[in-house]
Amino acid sequence: MSEARPSIAPAHACIVAGTHSGCGKTTITLGLMAALSRRGHVVQPYKAGPDFIDPGHHTAATGRPSINLDGWMCGPQGVRVAFARGLHASGARPWPHDLFSRPSDGNAPPASHTTWEHIWTALGHPPGNPAPLLRHEGGTVMVATHAAPACGVPSLANPPSAHGHTVPDIAIIEGVMGLHDGASATTCTGSTAELALLLDLPVVLVIRARGMARSAAAMAMGYAALEPGLRIAGVICNEVGGPGHREMLRDALAHHCPAMPLLGMVPRDASLGTPSRHLGLALAGERDETTFLAGLADTIEQHVDIDALLKAITPVAPVRMDSAIPQACPPVAAPAAPSHMMSGDPLRHVSGTPHLAAPGTTITDVAETPDAAGPSETSATAAPAPAAGPPVIAVVSRVPVAVARDEAFSFLYAENLALLFAAGMDVRFFSPLADTSLPEGVRGVLLPGGYPELHAKRLAANHAMRTALRDFAATGQPVHGECGGYMYLMDMLETSEGSFPMSGCLPLRCRMDARLRALGYREATLLDDAAFGSAGTTLRGHEYHYSHLVDAPAAHTGLTPLWQVRDRRGRDMGTEGWCCRAITGSYIHLHLASNLSAAHAFVAACA
């Protein structure tokens, strides 16, 4: 009989939400993360929605990869699993910080660990920053000392868990848009409020109080009352003026909202803002992040009662990673899907054949019995028990895959890396900007999104790498690029500064525009067999870009459309992306938790 796995120690958790976009919730979130980390807490960051940029800043502030929690792409059970995995630093359900293993002696790690060189950088730290290392002692992965603190403050002194890892004691989720903004004008679907209800977490509400006094109380009351069951743990007012303004806000909130304590009043300070560009905030590493975060932590310590905040937020109930996580609310609304695609529950699709997990089973149970019967998919009342995590695969030898990672390519979902690792992938990071060849012996290439247009001249000047990628693609091994990576696979990238040759793996040209070309969630179904699965395999993701294809490919190029695409409401959007042999490219940022078979299919295609 196998030994029972330990429970996760309770952690305090909350969601930092704003009244609207631009109210300062990212600034407040980063400040809280940095201040709590400096106090010695182990803070696990999360981001609601599909955004890549905020998580990079979270990682710079906490030293831990930030996990995206997205109900539409991953389903409610996928959100719970990702949230629980972030609080679970070690055990049978590995999540990336179990994989940050680089032996101090430089020798290859044990077979149970992948060679994830510089993975900390890959999940948010700017290249060149010291990464916390793990060392192997007697088969156990132990935490080594930080070479340098994440944000210019004393290194964390948290004791390692029983498995040698530091376990988070605080989880902070940054919301998206306003607290109640989502996919619907009449329900909480797709909103930060829905996420709070799904995870049963309290909300810290950020109000941009500039130009208001008593009205701040009215806003707090309205935001708390709109959605039944929502818990507002407290309010932080941002962009507060002088002593008179502070007194008015304090009195108004104390009188009208006694159940929602005023946790802090952050003054107006232009230096606290985060710069932005066409895809959102600037990336971590594009400024002096150490100085910025240290200053932000100072501001939060001075103007927010962190002790009161910690008392106001509640501990997360202990979660056993080998047990099913209970369903808390109905799945988010999703368009009708083909029979091979789940509806609201991506984690039950763990192999090429869809099936439901019977109540009380785990994902491992299902993976080992693919024909197990569960509740009918047409049942209106029976809800499948969510799984505890991706299947645990007995990996005999890992499949090395090159993953682009540098200033031009940095948009990676942490959960995707965890799922690919669970499927047997050995990640070998490389830089299309700086390296002259692919890592030796790789069997596939992944090119994530990013900002190739900002580095087009350097990418074009690296003839050796462009040739190396093109030569590898000619071998017939899988090569996939999404969004920015897709652009790098093309012949040419046109910007306002001129035309720049890319790798030439796909006979396409793209051009940067001043206006947004596409934005929204996507459900994509493979039109033919490809690395991510057989024809008919469906995944979900997000599309957000300013470039467009200059011309449709000519018939003689041999390109075929990759995806048949629908938006989140189920409306047909035609085809998207292109395929040439084993080379695939698309503007869609896939989330592999939307269909767990995709990670296994990709690794199998590379093997």
Q: What average pLDDT does this structure show over 99-120?
A: 32
Asked if 562 and 530 count as a contact pair (C-beta separation under 8 A), the reply is yes
Dist CA 554 CA 547 (whole Å): 20
| The pLDDT of residue 372 is above 80 | no
Kindly report, residue by residue over 22-72, the tens digit of the pLDDT: 999 999 999 999 999 999 999 999 999 999 999 999 999 999 999 999 999
Q: Which of 325, 314, 323, 320 is nearest to 75 (CA)?
A: 325
What pLDDT was estimated at residue 539? 98
Tokens matching residue 29: 């979130």
| The pLDDT of residue 389 is above 80 | no
| The pLDDT of residue 75 is above 80 | yes
Kindly report, residue by residue over 447-483, the tens digit of the pLDDT: 999 999 999 999 999 999 999 999 999 999 999 999 9
Q: Which of 17-21, 57-61, 550-554 has the lowest mean pLDDT?
A: 550-554
* 3-state class percentages of the chain: helix first, strand second, coil last, to nearest 5: 30, 25, 50
Look up residue 549 and give its amino acid: L
SS3 484: helix
170 phi-psi bin (left φ>0, alpha ψ -120 to 50, beta other): beta
Pairing of strands 12-18, 170-178: parallel
Residue with the larger pLDDT of the pair 600 and 284: 600
Dist CA 174 CA 28 (whole Å): 9
Q: Which of these is catalytic: 14, 257, 483, 510?
A: 483
Q: Which of 12-16, 215-219, 375-379 has the lowest mean pLDDT?
A: 375-379
Active site residue 74: no
Q: DSSP for 378-403?
A: T-SS--PPPPSSSPPP--SS-EEEEE
What pLDDT was estimated at residue 554? 74
Map tokens 């305090």 to a residue.
12
SS3 15: strand
SS3 411: strand
The highest-confidence range among 52-56, 80-84, 232-236, 277-281, by mean pLDDT, is 232-236
The highest-confidence range among 196-205, 264-273, 330-339, 376-385, by mean pLDDT, is 196-205
Kindly report, residue by residue over 339-363, the tens digit of the pLDDT: 222 223 332 222 222 222 222 222 2
Pairing of strands 583-586, 203-208: unpaired
Dist CA 605 CA 531 (whole Å): 6
| The pLDDT of residue 148 is above 50 | no
Q: Which of 88-102, 218-232, 500-514, 552-566 has the lowest mean pLDDT?
A: 88-102
Kindly report, residue by residue over 511-535, the tens digit of the pLDDT: 999 999 999 999 999 999 999 999 9
List the alpha helices (DSSP H) in 257-305: 289-303
| The pLDDT of residue 306 is above 80 | yes
Of the pLDDT bands very low, low, confident and very high (cuts 50, 70, 90), residue 274 is low
Kindly report, residue by residue over 149-173, the tens digit of the pLDDT: 233 222 233 434 333 347 899 999 9
All structural domains of the chain, each given as residue ranges with its CATH number in brackets, are 12-98+166-315 (3.40.50.300), 399-606 (3.40.50.880)
Asked if 230 and 17 count as a contact pair (C-beta separation under 8 A), the reply is no
| The pLDDT of residue 496 is above 70 | yes
Long-range pairs for 335-342: beta carbons < 8 A, 24 or more residues apart: 335/523, 335/566, 335/567, 335/568, 335/569, 335/570, 335/571, 336/570, 337/523, 337/538, 338/525, 338/536, 338/538, 339/377, 340/536, 340/537, 340/538, 341/523, 341/525, 341/538, 341/595, 342/75, 342/595
Residues above pLDDT 90, as percent of the chain: 61
Mean pLDDT of the residues in the chain: 77
Dist CA 315 CA 364 (whole Å): 28
